[in-house]
């Protein structure tokens, strides 16, 4: 069977490849016709621009070109393997699929690689965003805060916005920080009350005013820009926490004597890969939780979906995310009526 998939042969190049996938399914595999796939602005832009930190690591076998992006999809089950009772032909499902028209999905490890049946009355365009919301949930898992605490989130892209909403739902008072005005507006529409543009307001003074001198117990770094860490250390309280939710796109020097040793600040990572380890809930549990919030309209998603683009215009999608941040946030690729199977 011939399918179409997105490929990054090298930085700033995107191709649509026609490739063959096998006809016969394994006993624990399903064949899924993708309706939509979701672009991750962080990871995928890092590969598109060649800035992903793993590219320079010879021991990182995953971060290599050619790179096949994508890890969130919703679509329809076309066929099921012989040993599958959980899914049937015609089911609508959420998977961790790549940007491709049709995919074979293994369901043997659902806790780490969730495949979730979706009710037909649900909005697939909204449910697919559960992928990035579940990633954002990692910051809550590793955090230590009390209800009513003021926390700060640097970066109000998709991951930062979802983190802000999830901390608000959990009882924190969130101060969102972003220099992109449209993202501040989006965050406001999602229920984030305190918002700061660091290019227009003096950050430290504004935070003191908002918190009435209480300061910040917890800082979430969701931009992936290493230099933001310096600012985070200047606003967090003694014995506070700084959580790295956005994957850093480079290296930074930290004054560990003054910031960590003397102030007792706890610097923590919140990579999605921690889910399922020790006492942290696994990916399936996390995804089901945020899906419930989306269904109940508690977690706002529709406000963050800005573009739907066909695969024939795929390069436009990444260029919008890279160069049109004022107007671009959540971008879906629509595979429904095209690029399904070139043999048809």
Q: What's the CATH code of the domain at 308? A: 3.90.180.10
Q: What's the CATH code of the domain at 245? A: 3.40.50.720
145 and 267 fall within a common domain: yes
Distance of alpha carbon 181 from alpha carbon 67, whole angstroms: 32
32 and 119 fall within a common domain: yes
Q: How many CB atoms lie within 10 A of CB 86?
A: 13
Residue 318 lies in a domain: yes
Structural domains counted in the chain: 2
77 and 149 fall within a common domain: no
Q: How many CB atoms lie within 10 A of CB 4?
A: 20
236 and 252 fall within a common domain: yes
155 and 114 fall within a common domain: no
pLDDT (tens place) for every residue of the chain, 344 residues total: 899 999 999 999 999 999 999 989 999 999 999 999 999 998 999 999 999 988 988 888 888 999 999 999 999 999 999 999 999 999 999 999 999 999 999 999 999 999 999 999 999 999 999 999 999 999 999 999 999 999 999 999 999 999 999 999 999 999 999 999 999 999 999 999 999 999 999 999 999 999 999 999 999 999 999 999 999 999 999 999 999 999 988 888 999 999 999 999 999 999 999 999 989 999 999 999 999 999 999 999 999 999 999 999 999 999 999 999 999 999 999 999 865 454 44
174 and 200 fall within a common domain: yes
Model's pTM, two decimal places? 0.95
Domain housing 233: 135-274
263 and 199 fall within a common domain: yes
Contacts of residue 139, defined as CB under 8 A and 6 or more positions apart, other chains included, come to 163, 166, 167, 220, 222, 243, 245, 270
Phi-psi region of 155 (alpha: psi -120 to 50; beta: other; left: phi over 0): left
Distance of alpha carbon 221 from alpha carbon 270, whole angstroms: 10
User: Sign of dihedral through CA atoms 277, 283, 288, 290?
Assistant: positive
Are 130 and 300 in contact, with CB atoms under 8 Å apart?
no
139 and 110 fall within a common domain: no
Residue 283 lies in a domain: no
Name the residue among 109, 107, 73 with its Cα closest to residue 92: 73
Distance of alpha carbon 99 from alpha carbon 269, whole angstroms: 28
CA atoms within 13 A on the CB side of 42: 24
268 and 312 fall within a common domain: no
Q: Which of 274, 293, 313 is the last residue of a domain?
A: 274
């Amino acid at each position: 069977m011939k399918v179409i998939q997105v490929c990054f042969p090298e930085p700033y190049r995107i191709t649509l490849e026609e490739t063959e996938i096998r006809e016969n399914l394994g006993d624990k595999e399903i064949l899924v016709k993708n309706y939509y796939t979701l672009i991750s602005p962080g990871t995928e832009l890092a590969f598109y621009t060649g800035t992903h930190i793993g590219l320079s690591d010879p021991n990182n076998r995953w971060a290599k070109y050619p790179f096949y992006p994508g890890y969130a999809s919703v679509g329809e089950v076309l066929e099921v393997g012989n040993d599958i009772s959980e899914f049937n032909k015609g089911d609508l499902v959420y998977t961790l699929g790549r940007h491709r028209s049709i995919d074979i999905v293994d369901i043997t490890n659902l806790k780490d690689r969730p495949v979730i049946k979706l009710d037909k009355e649900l909005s697939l365009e909204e449910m697919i965003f559960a992928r990035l919301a579940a990633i954002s949930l990692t910051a809550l898992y590793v955090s230590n805060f009390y209800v009513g605490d003021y926390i700060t989130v640097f970066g109000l892209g998709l991951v930062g916005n979802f983190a802000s909403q999830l901390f608000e739902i959990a009882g924190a008072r969130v101060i969102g920080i972003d220099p992109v005005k449209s993202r501040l507006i989006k965050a406001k529409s999602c229920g984030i009350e305190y918002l700061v543009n660091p290019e227009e307001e003096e950050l430290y003074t504004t935070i003191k005013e908002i918190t009435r001198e209480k300061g910040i117990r917890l800082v979430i770094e969701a931009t992936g820009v290493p230099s933001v860490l310096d600012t985070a250390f200047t606003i967090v309280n003694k014995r506070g926490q700084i959580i790295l939710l956005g994957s850093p796109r480079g290296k930074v020097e930290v004054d560990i004597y003054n910031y960590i040793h003397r102030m007792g600040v706890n610097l923590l990572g919140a990579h999605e890969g921690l889910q399922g380890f020790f006492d942290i809930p696994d990916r399936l549990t996390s995804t089901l939780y945020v899906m419930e919030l989306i269904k109940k309209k508690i977690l706002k998603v529709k406000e963050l979906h800005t573009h739907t683009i066909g695969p024939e215009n795929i390069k436009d999608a990444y260029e919008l995310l890279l160069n049109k941040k004022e107007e671009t946030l959540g971008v879906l690729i629509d595979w429904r009526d095209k690029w399904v199977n070139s043999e048809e």
